[in-house]
Amino acid sequence: MRFGLTRNAEKNRLCVLRRRKLESNFRNQRRENRTRRRIRRKIRMFRKQERVKGLEAAYLESERGVISLKGVLRIGRGQGNDVVIDEVRVSRYHCRIEKTENGWEIVDLGSRNGTIVNGRNVMRKVLLDGDEIRVGKQRFVFHGGMGVGTDTHYGAAIDESLGDRKELQARRESEQERAVFEKLLFINRSLATELNLKKLLSVIMEKVLEVVRGERAFLILSDKGKLTTFVSLNLDGEPIRKADLKVSHSIAKTVFNSGKPILSVDAQEDERFKDFLSVHGLKLRSVLCVPLLVGGETIGVLYVDNRFEGGVFNSDDLRILELFADQASVAVRNARLFEENLKRKVELEAAMRRVEELNEHLRRLVEQKEHDLQEAQKLLSEQQASLKYEYPTVVTRSPAMLGVLHLVDRVIEMDVPVLICGESGTGKELIAHAIHEHSNRSRHRFVAVNCSAIPAELMESELFGYVRGAFTGAERDKPGLFEISDGGTLFLDEIGDMPLNMQAKLLRVIEEKRIRRLGSSEEMKVNFRIISATNKDLIRMVAEGKFRDDLLFRINVVTIKIPPLRKRPEDIPLLVEHFLQIISQKSGREKPYITPDAMDILIHHDWSGNVRELRNEMERAIALCSGTIGVEHLSPQLVDKVLKSTEDSETTARLNARILAQENRSLSEIRQRVLDVVEKTAIETVLVSSGGNKSKAARILGISRPTLDAKIRLYGITVEKKRLSEEMDS
């Protein structure tokens, strides 16, 4: 029985509670209805007042209030907003409504959950009459012409103090803008006076932190394709240690590559950063990053963040940071121009000093060169003073060549055949011409014939001439070279290449002094001096039956042997200067200067082509050089051949060292190259002295036989084997 009474009492208690709750809901509903009626009356009153004033007012309407729009209206969770909405889904600085030239616009301030207008998420939109705005759970309706309503719980009541608040807010904004402009003015003054880029950028970063309320600031520049923190500051104005590890390079790279700024009020929830590990690792909240632009090119970024509070930055902060970024870009550009100009100045001063040193060096070299040349010319004049005739076309100071000229002195007055022997390019025709010019036949012609250049079937007609109709194609009489050289000198170059049948006919002409043209029966008398030249061994050719011995006796009354250029290296500097002078005059260019290293190469070359090859080399060097002939202007094969020569190991090693140094080789490379040259020369010398006995040579050199064999293979030493075989043959 007692249990039943307790159960009934519990039912009664629940009924009473339910009734009280229903009564409370009814009272709340009635109170809400009265509020709605009051708001409607207030709205009608506002409309009536605005119609009377003839103004186009605008306002926001909600279920619990109305607010007139007269300036900028800020909505958010923070207490500094005009409309405060204390909800988790509302950002600290969520959005703002402002008057623009297009009308009233709503602007999202980078909110986490977005601003909804007519069911759509917007960043910026011009509001139209009747547009529905949702911020969190709060709903507003825009009316073009009057005010805004919201609950007093959200900090936006309809009271007459609203106008005062707007006025205070406008004054506060004006003061903030003035502070920003003062800081920009300070930075502009610093740009004109401060040349230290890092110090100037630190000043800019300090002002940035003061204005945009950031916790840290980083100025990141691109250096050789990599983003590097150049300046970093915290709230205390102190540099951040290991700054590159404490900034989100992912955000910085995104802004740098796109050239567009990034504003995030809560980086942890920002969908743009969901794959950025640095954002989550650094636990970033508010982030603001803008590009640094110079001439349309992105050179870096200006980065500000806050790790402890979201919603710190808004679009105004973005605009301000862009202004500071412009100043930083100007500072970087000016500093780079200054550094570039300073670098160029240093380089120019160094180049000028180098030019002065080179000019002084060249001046001394030219003076020494002129002195040496004067001494050589003086010596040459003294040596040539003993000569009876002058030979201006023969450039030499070699005793061997001076001996040749003394012989020429005697031959000139002897009207006898002369045979000039010498290698190709030694100047045989030059000597022949000198003999003719100083002889009593100089009033008549000097006729030069290259026997190797005339085909065998045409040689007779060229030498003897022909009459009209002598053979097919002989349409007129033509005198031969024998006839043309009558009274003068006939120079037969390369006489060793003359066919045997022509040798017999030439012998008859020399003996009888008479010729007969082809196709003619009339003989004519001729009187000429014959000078022959050859680079072959005519005595051996006689033994082989390739040259007539009787002809050799007739043309070899006096023999002049011209030494090759390699046998008279003292003539090379004189010949080089001579060729440089005449080639430069012919081409209308200033005579170039030749470096000592290049001259050393020329002196140590074997010159198989003799003087002719030397002249060709000088023509090539003048064509390639720009006032100075160096080793690099000489033929590569010529230089390589000299460097590989073992005739003078000391000179070769020195030239190797100089050339490698000019090629910017390292000291170890130069040392190894020179050691290789010296080692190769030593091995070859010892092999010769030991008669080719490798075991004996290895003992002398202090190395093992296998080591010697390896070095012989390494350096390609085959010269000594050849010499040994020649000695055995002899």
pLDDT grade for 722, boundaries at 50, 70 and 90? very low
> For 18-31, what is each residue's pLDDT tens digit?
777 777 777 767 77
Strands 115-117 and 132-135: antiparallel
- What is the reported pTM? 0.44
- Dihedral sign from CA coordinates of 391, 396, 397, 403: negative
Question: Does the structure show a pLDDT above 50 at 150?
Answer: no
Average pLDDT, the chain: 80
Question: Does the structure show a pLDDT above 50 at 160?
Answer: no
Provide the terminal-to-terminal Cα distance of the chain, rounded to the nearest Å.
154
User: Cβ neighbours of residue 312 under 8 Å, at least 6 residues apart?
Assistant: 92, 213, 214, 265, 285, 286, 306
The pLDDT score that the predictor gives to residue 130 is: 84
Instruction: Name the residue among 429, 501, 431, 406 with its Cα closest to residue 463.
Output: 501
The pLDDT score that the predictor gives to residue 312 is: 80
User: Rounded to an integer, what distance in angstroms lies between the CA atom of residue 325 and that of residue 299?
Assistant: 11
The pLDDT score that the predictor gives to residue 55 is: 39
> For 328-360, what is each residue's pLDDT tens digit?
777 777 777 777 888 888 888 887 787 777 777
User: Rounded to an integer, what distance in angstroms lies between the CA atom of residue 419 and that of residue 541?
Assistant: 15
Question: Does the structure show a pLDDT above 60 at 149?
Answer: no
> For 654-672, what is each residue's pLDDT tens digit?
555 555 555 555 555 655 6
pLDDT top residue among 378 and 153: 378
Phi-psi label, residue 127: left if phi above 0, alpha if psi -120 to 50, beta otherwise = beta
* Domains in the chain, CATH or no CATH each: 56-159 (2.60.200.20), 175-340 (3.30.450.40), 415-563 (3.40.50.300), 590-729 (1.10.8.60)
User: Rounded to an integer, what distance in angstroms lies between the CA atom of residue 661 and that of residue 664?
Assistant: 5
User: Rounded to an integer, what distance in angstroms lies between the CA atom of residue 706 and that of residue 713?
Assistant: 11
The pLDDT score that the predictor gives to residue 422 is: 93
Provide the CB-side half-sphere exposure for 690 (13 A, CA): 17
Look-up of token digits 């070859």: 684
Question: Does the structure show a pLDDT above 70 at 248?
Answer: yes
pLDDT top residue among 53 and 475: 475
For 270-274, which contacts have Cβ atoms below 8 Å and span 24 or more sequence positions?
A: 270/112
Instruction: Name the residue among 299, 262, 268 with its Cα closest to residue 282.
Output: 268
Average pLDDT over residues 111-127: 87
Amino acid at residue number 381 = S
Question: Does the structure show a pLDDT above 70 at 50?
Answer: no
The pLDDT score that the predictor gives to residue 38 is: 66
